[in-house]
Amino acid sequence: MENTQKRVGVVGGVRVPFCRNNTAYADVGNFGLSVKVLGALVERYGLHGVELGEVALGAVIKHAADWNLAREALLSSGLAPTTPGITTARACGTSLDNAIIVANKIAVGQIEAGIAAGSDTTSDVPIVYGRRLRKRLLAMNRARTPLDKLKVALHGFSLRELKPAFPGVAEPRTNKSMGDHCELMAKEWHISREAQDQLALESHRKLAAAYESGFFDDLVVPFRGLKRDGFLRPDSTLEKLAALKPAFDKRSGKGTLTAGNSTGLSDGSAAVLLASDDWAARRGLTIQAYLRDAEVAAVDFVHGEGLLMAPTVAVPRLLARNGLSLQDFDYYEIHEAFAAQVLCTLRAWESAEYCRNRLGLDAPLGSIDPAKLNVHGSSLAVGHPFAATGARIIATLAKLLEQKGSGRGLISICTAGGMGVTAILERP
Ligand SMILES: CC(=O)CC(=O)SCCNC(=O)CCNC(=O)[C@H](O)C(C)(C)COP(=O)(O)OP(=O)(O)OC[C@H]1O[C@@H](n2cnc3c(N)ncnc32)[C@H](O)[C@@H]1OP(=O)(O)O
């Protein structure tokens, strides 16, 4: 990062093909998904038995039995067992945050290289019993004799205790799902259904074209019979998208978010290798791009701000710190949580009122060139295993910059909880 001792290079990244939940990876779990991508990086960059400074890996939906998932997965990856691992979570920003964690350590000289990664599966979510049964089971565990155990099991037992608790899909503070919140944003910013469907269609077309061109040949490692993302629909059309019913606001007749312009519930994992110039050179590895700077922001969605609007706040801070304008980029990677989220973000940056009143700017940030946005598709077509998306985007953007020879890319990821994680990659 800038103004620090060492530049932080992205050596490269990999991911498994992402897929719909309860399909190809239904029985894999976060451990298997994580081992797969860490192992793929080890293979590609000759890291067998190599001790890295850190493996920061996260999963948003994780079982307690996964323990420290990062450490457990790296122990099965081929890396030296003396490599430390930390498990993290910041919703959809998780693996971009992990890159920031690893990058900061490299930048100040604490470590020389590390991996940032993420995995998620909605095929195997932690389902728990209510507090009453949990207390009963723990008390049974403490009871000394079989008779004591039986007494604890039966005393005051009610069948209702067996009711399982599923992980919530709603924001705890508002009791609204991410889709409900994004519907509110779409209405506030007057984002049409047609514009959302068009963006979704383009995401599928661009991803299909990128696969055809071979762009993903070294980025996507085949897994469990999959070679391409399970969500990709090269045959999708505007007519098919327009025919889909609203997925969240189903009753008012004004809902615009559908299964076609929202991300689907996904399984998958991704990882990137970050290193100092010296470390990479010593190992004969080249740097694709440098992580120049990053910024995280949060919005007050409980009191009216759009839940997924925090990147609109983070990006101007990032630009100001680096003396850049919104137009100073060759690529924009804006995570497509929903098509409407991307469109709200772009509209907010174009709005003089929002930029003045919310962002405290003298002038709007302005428009971006749409030809530079998510050039090889994004989460609508790729899929969105929450914690894996950041590493997927870093790997894609770093390769784009390497292919271009020089240039700069902006990453913007909205997250649950009203946060935004953003970063700049650059190839001088
Ligand atoms: C988490 C963070 O921190 C930040 C974020 O990213 S927030 C974003 C997180 N994402 C979400 O919250 C969205 C989660 N997604 C969902 O809950 C569900 O996918 C959903 C409610 C949007 C849809 O669920 P669903 O109805 O089961 O979808 P699905 O069955 O796949 O599709 C419905 C129909 O649309 C069709 N369809 C979907 N995409 C299509 C496309 N591109 N073209 C044409 N048809 C399409 C399907 O074929 C299906 O048609 P049939 O009913 O005829 O089979």
Check whether 239 has a pLDDT greater than 60. yes
| Pairwise CA distance, residues 1 & 108, whole Å | 9
| Percent with pLDDT over 90 in the chain | 96
Catalytic residue check, 344? no
205 CA from centroid of ligand 1 (Å): 17
The amino acid present at 3, given as its one-letter code, is: N
Q: For this structure, is 19 an active site residue?
A: no
What pTM was estimated for this model as a whole?
A: 0.96
The predicted structure's pLDDT at residue 29: 96
Residue 35 to residue 40: CA distance in whole angstroms: 8
The mean pLDDT of 310-314, rounded to a whole number, is: 98
For the cut 70, the answer to whether the pLDDT of residue 117 exceeds it is yes
pLDDT of residue 381: 98
Catalytic residue among 181, 335, 376, 384: 384
Q: What is the pLDDT of residue 101?
A: 98
Residue 165: pLDDT above 90? no
Among 90, 106, 310, 428, CA closest to 318: 310
359 lines ligand 1 (CB under 6 A): no
Residue 17 Cα to ligand 1 middle (Å): 18
- Please work out whether the CB of residue 181 comes within 6 Å of at least one atom of ligand 1: no
Ligand 1: centre distance to CA 258 (Å): 7
| CA neighbor of 308 nearest in space, from 157, 92, 129, 151 | 92
Cβ of 69 closer than 6 Å to ligand 1, yes or no, is: no
Write the CB contacts of 86 (distance below 8 Å, at least 6 apart in sequence).
54, 55, 56, 57, 68, 70, 71, 101
Mutate to test the pocket of ligand 1, among 171, 263, 413 (most ligand atoms within 8 A of CB): 263
414 CA: nearest ligand 1 atom: 4
Q: How many angstroms separate the CA atoms of 350 and 348, rounded?
A: 5
Task: State mean pLDDT over 51-72.
Answer: 96
Whether 384 sits among the annotated catalytic residues: the reply is yes
Residues of the chain above pLDDT 70, percent = 99
Residue 108 pLDDT greater than 70, yes or no: yes
Among protein residues, the one whose CA lies closest to atom 46 of ligand 1: 260
Name the pairing type of β-strands 85-88 and 164-165: unpaired
Q: What is the pLDDT of residue 2?
A: 47
Q: Give tens-digit pLDDT for 339-372.
A: 999 999 999 999 999 999 999 999 999 999 999 9
74-96 burial, b for 16+ CB within 10 Å, e for fewer?
bbebbbeeebbbbbbbbbbbbbb
Average pLDDT across the chain, whole number: 96
CA–CA separation, 386 and 379 (whole Å) = 10
**Measured in whole angstroms, how far is the alpha carbon of residue 109 from the centre of its chain?**
27
pLDDT for residue 424 is more than 80 = yes
> What is the tens place of the pLDDT at every residue in 190-232?
999 999 999 999 999 999 999 999 999 999 999 999 999 999 9
**Ligand 1 pocket check for 386: Cβ under 6 Å:** yes
Which of 126-130, 187-191, 198-202 comes out lowest in average pLDDT?
A: 126-130
pLDDT at 4: 52
State in Å: Cα 297 to ligand 1 middle.
27
254 lines ligand 1 (CB under 6 A): no
Of 22, 113, 33, nearest in space to 76 by CA: 33
Could you tell me the distance, in angstroms and rounded to a whole number, from the CA of residue 375 to the centre of ligand 1? 22
Residue with tokens 């405290």: 360
How much is the pLDDT for 169?
A: 78
